[in-house]
Amino acid sequence: MHIGTTLRVLGILLMLFSSTMLVPLVIGLIADDHTVEGFLVALSITFFSGLAMWLPARASRHELRIRDGFLITSLFWTVLGLFGALPFAFEDALDLSPTEAIFESISGLTTTGATVITGLDSLPHSILIYRQMLQWLGGIGIIVVAVAVLPMLGIGGMQLYRAEIPGPTKDSKLTPRITETAKALFSVYLALTVVCALCYHLAGMSTFDAIAHAFSTVAIGGFSTHDTSMAWFESNTILLICSVFMCISAMNFGLHYLAWRRRSLRHYLGDSETKFFSSIVLVCIAITCGYLILSGVIAPEDALVHGLFQAISITTTTGFASENFALWPTFLPVMLLMFSFMGGCVGSTGGGIKAMRLMLIFKQGIRELKQLVHPQAVIPLKMGKRRVDAAVVSAVWSFFAVYMFSFITILLLLMGTGMDFITAFSAVAASLNNLGPGLGDVAANYAGISETAKGLLCFAMLLGRLEVFTLLVLFTPMFWRL
Amino acid sequence: MHIGTTLRVLGILLMLFSSTMLVPLVIGLIADDHTVEGFLVALSITFFSGLAMWLPARASRHELRIRDGFLITSLFWTVLGLFGALPFAFEDALDLSPTEAIFESISGLTTTGATVITGLDSLPHSILIYRQMLQWLGGIGIIVVAVAVLPMLGIGGMQLYRAEIPGPTKDSKLTPRITETAKALFSVYLALTVVCALCYHLAGMSTFDAIAHAFSTVAIGGFSTHDTSMAWFESNTILLICSVFMCISAMNFGLHYLAWRRRSLRHYLGDSETKFFSSIVLVCIAITCGYLILSGVIAPEDALVHGLFQAISITTTTGFASENFALWPTFLPVMLLMFSFMGGCVGSTGGGIKAMRLMLIFKQGIRELKQLVHPQAVIPLKMGKRRVDAAVVSAVWSFFAVYMFSFITILLLLMGTGMDFITAFSAVAASLNNLGPGLGDVAANYAGISETAKGLLCFAMLLGRLEVFTLLVLFTPMFWRL
Ligand SMILES: [K+]
Ligand SMILES: [K+]
């Protein structure tokens, strides 16, 4: 472990991160609202903390290795989550406890989108845009980590993607690879955000709302500037635009980068994860719309739009609302929650287990059935035309099992604090899958649950975003030995 | 597929099965109650149906092969489940629909112990003992299948036990192995039942109740002759005796057989599954008692007895009740339900995923964490001193995943019929894990849910009992090809 180098990197990240508070600060200054002081103090604390970490360690230039990757990735979201909470804590109008401020900040950075704030519509623009920016920043962080860092760490079968990373370097050293890849992916991410904002604006959103929602759409975040989320705009066009961009953002950004470089869409069709993901989303849309129409809860024409929108919003783990889906027959929200366990594709801003892993599990199940009927046959597991390595399969299985056990453990801990079953179940699913909205007592927001519960859910959000293993490995003694 | 031989075996099984209706018939004759006619007709139908299958196929003497094993094992529980329903259907006092009669019969034979009957205390003894006998018969069927058949079929990693089967034959042919093994295991099963009945009787149960409850204890069944189950006896001694026998019955009967032959208990201590199982049960008891005492729902001295009893009853998937645990703080019943996913050990009458599989999954998770920290190391997966084969691990993973997907699918189907979340969740867990009691609308019994729901739960009970794959494989086209 190179503590010096880790501190240096963390210090740089914090100083960079503090600059994101400049935008709300400027907006606050223009609007001349009472948030200016809070952002100024938060920015200063964050910047100087970063400086204090960087200064003594600035000479440490050890090459970062695999093991440092776990620590820095975990610290990225936890430390930024803590400092990101400062503006929320300093804003008196929000009246948040320290835990709540941290909850909001981590929910933003992990692109979960669960909120403890009510009365969004009346908040100053500076606070609102800060929440959206947290998600946007978290989103690009996720993509870079997923595409450049996790394959090197070998988390949950991500080593599968080692060879596929875009960018010139195929070095085993982390730093050059991350820098190159980050630049490429950031361009795609930025371009997508700009196009999304333009579409929203053309469809009738104000400039502010268009940018704010483009941030949280592309980040699969789900934060909104209105309590009623996307329903506020009362526009089917906006819902459809949002649906399209949620789907795009839930796909592998490595593929988007290729599409940009090659000016071609053909490789999407050949990608088995994209095909699997699209099929599952289509199945989910079909069931949602079908059940909505048959149950007659809302008019058939509304059922199609809202069914499509909610199915995509929950399956991709975005968590925008076009309707209060907690009022639908319980079957639907629970089913959608189950689909959110899939989440997006690898290398996207989506949460959940990821389509690639579910596909491998599915294929392995089929393979096992075949093996039972033909016990002597040697049946390889393939993805596309490539044979999947046994180590990858085993990593994916472990990921699935550990994910499930984490889910059950946090669920039971929450219920141990006295929370009812449906609230706890949906809250853990919504946090671990980085989805956002829950059911029961957390259907509208997370303000009403206990401080302990909020703390547990913060942990769940981090666990989900860090692909479980990145964080868990830090809790093993062997990680710190040597 | 040898249809002739399959029919012959099934015919013999049915004729043998019909003889179990003799006992309630005789009891009915002695008591001179109105159930005699029903049992006589049911017995005749079952016997002559068996004869009709056996007669034309009696000359078919093909050696049974692996593939026939799947079919016959699946048919054992489905066909016997259907014919076993006849006495319930013919008994007017019960007033059951055909689906309900089948539900009760399958619940008995799969040793689930979920019931659609209320007013047990006022039912004739003949009907009551028939229910208990169904469980007892189902129990020995399970053990024989688990120890002799499943390892040959290679279901969910059971090939691990191929070499460990007691009995003289280590042939690849199914028939001699089953016969030999069945005899050995049946002796152990019978001996355990007799000792259990004696203990119950000495502790104050009537002869009838002692025998009836010994049947359902050793079978991990959970059927009782009283609506209030074990609570009816108001005796802590009985609860403790029951706890001991539930634990014994949830362990591998192959080990019990060895203990008998070697007159030694030492090999239990060396068995890693037994150790894992005992640890989990102890953890569950500790949490249950601790939470009961801290929450102050019942007096501390009661908390210890009932905590111990309920923890063992649910974790082993027996499902006896000493208290209405649905009235405890929701955390406890939900936690116990989660533990029931483990269930018993391989080769026991318990349901669930089985301790061996959970242990392998747990070890594989630890191994994966080690692998992340030491990417270059080759870390073998061991059980005791033996290295576990990759095929076994892969089969266990698939089992776990398919089990979870079956759970979620049936849960959603039930909710699709309009059932609420906690009822559906507990009902599927209780059925798939062959546990019995649920929560919500199925806390007391399963009479109040729809016919569709009852049918789905019958399927879940069979799926759980047939270790998912045995049944699923019959739904694949490739099974019927060739
Ligand atoms: K989200
Ligand atoms: K049971």
Number of folded domains that form chain A: 1
Tell me: is residue B318 an annotated ligand-binding position: yes
| CA B340 – ligand 2 centroid, Å | 10
Per-residue pLDDT at B170 exceeds 50: no
pLDDT higher for B197 or B183?
A: B197
Mean pLDDT of A27-49: 89
Contact list in A for residue B334 (CB cut-off 8 A) is 411-412, 415, 421
Q: CA B431 to CA B433: how far, in whole Å?
A: 5
User: Which among A153, A331, A398 has CB closest to B365?
Assistant: A398
Tokens standing for A99? 């835990």
Q: Are the beta carbons of A368 and B469 closer than 8 angstroms?
A: yes
| CA A103 – ligand 1 centroid, Å | 14
pLDDT higher for B358 or A267?
A: B358
pLDDT in tens, B181-195: 778 888 899 999 999
Is the ipTM reported for this complex over the cut 0.85? yes
Is residue B475 domain-resident?
yes
pLDDT of residue A32: 83
pLDDT of residue A274: 92
- Give how far Cα A435 sits from Cα of A155, A190, A438, B199, Å: 21, 22, 9, 54
Is residue B181 domain-resident?
no
pLDDT of residue A169: 38
Tokens standing for A8? 């240096």
pLDDT higher for A301 or B403?
A: B403
Side chain identity at residue B221, one-letter code: G
Distance from the A191 Cα atom to the nearest Cα atom in chain B, whole angstroms: 35
Per-residue pLDDT at B287 exceeds 90: yes
pLDDT of residue A171: 40
Task: Label residue B24 exposed, middle or buried (CB < 10 Å: 0-12, 13-18, 19+).
Answer: buried
pLDDT in tens, A453-473: 999 999 999 999 988 888 888
- pLDDT cut 70: percent of chain B above it: 95
Q: Are the beta carbons of A281 and A247 closer than 8 angstroms?
A: yes
Q: What is the mean pLDDT of chain A?
A: 87
| Range ranked top by mean pLDDT from A101-110, A261-270, A441-450 | A101-110
Q: Which of A27-36, A60-69, B256-265 has the least mean pLDDT?
A: A60-69
Per-residue pLDDT at B165 exceeds 50: no
Residues 124..153 of A with a Cβ closer than 8 Å to B: which? 153
Is residue A319 domain-resident?
no
Contact list in A for residue B283 (CB cut-off 8 A) is none
Give the phi and the psi of residue A450 in degrees, each rounded to 5: -70, 165
Contact list in A for residue B338 (CB cut-off 8 A) is 408, 412
Q: What is the DSSP letter of A388?
A: P
Q: Are the beta carbons of A439 and A331 closer than 8 angstroms?
A: no
Tokens standing for B97? 């629909």
Q: What is the DSSP letter of A348?
A: S
pLDDT in tens, A198-257: 999 999 999 999 999 999 999 999 999 998 889 899 889 999 999 999 999 999 888 888
Is residue A456 domain-resident?
yes
Is residue A446 domain-resident?
yes
Q: What is the mean pLDDT of chain B?
A: 87
Mutate to test the interface with B, among A297, A368, A414 (most CBs of B within 10 A): A368
Query: Closest residue of A to B158, CA-based?
Result: A372
Tokens standing for A224? 């909104």
Side chain identity at residue A342, one-letter code: M
Grouping H, G, I as helix, E, B as strand and the rest as coil, residue B344 is coil
According to DSSP H, which parts of B388-476 are helical? 390-416, 421-432, 451-465, 469-472
Grouping H, G, I as helix, E, B as strand and the rest as coil, residue B2 is coil
Q: Which of B56-60, B100-104, B285-289 has the least mean pLDDT?
A: B56-60
Q: Which of A16-25, A324-333, B418-427 has the least mean pLDDT?
A: A324-333
Grouping H, G, I as helix, E, B as strand and the rest as coil, residue B387 is strand
> Looking at the complex, does the CB of residue B479 fall below 8 Å from at least one CB of chain A?
yes
pLDDT of residue B175: 56
pLDDT of residue B162: 58
- Confidence label for B178 from pLDDT (cuts 50, 70 and 90): low
- Confidence label for A309 from pLDDT (cuts 50, 70 and 90): very high
Is residue A308 domain-resident?
no
pLDDT in tens, A41-50: 999 999 999 9
- The whole domain housing A446 covers 389-479
- Which of B409, B392, B393 shows the shortest CA–CA distance to B463? B409
Per-residue pLDDT at B338 exceeds 50: yes
pLDDT in tens, A362-394: 888 888 888 888 877 788 888 777 788 877 888
Angular region, A388: left φ>0, alpha ψ -120 to 50, beta rest? beta
Per-residue pLDDT at B443 exceeds 90: no
Side chain identity at residue A461, one-letter code: M
Q: What is the DSSP letter of A386?
A: E
- Confidence label for B129 from pLDDT (cuts 50, 70 and 90): very high
Is residue B422 domain-resident?
yes
Q: Which of A20-29, A151-160, A281-290, A342-351 has the least mean pLDDT?
A: A151-160
Is residue B305 domain-resident?
no
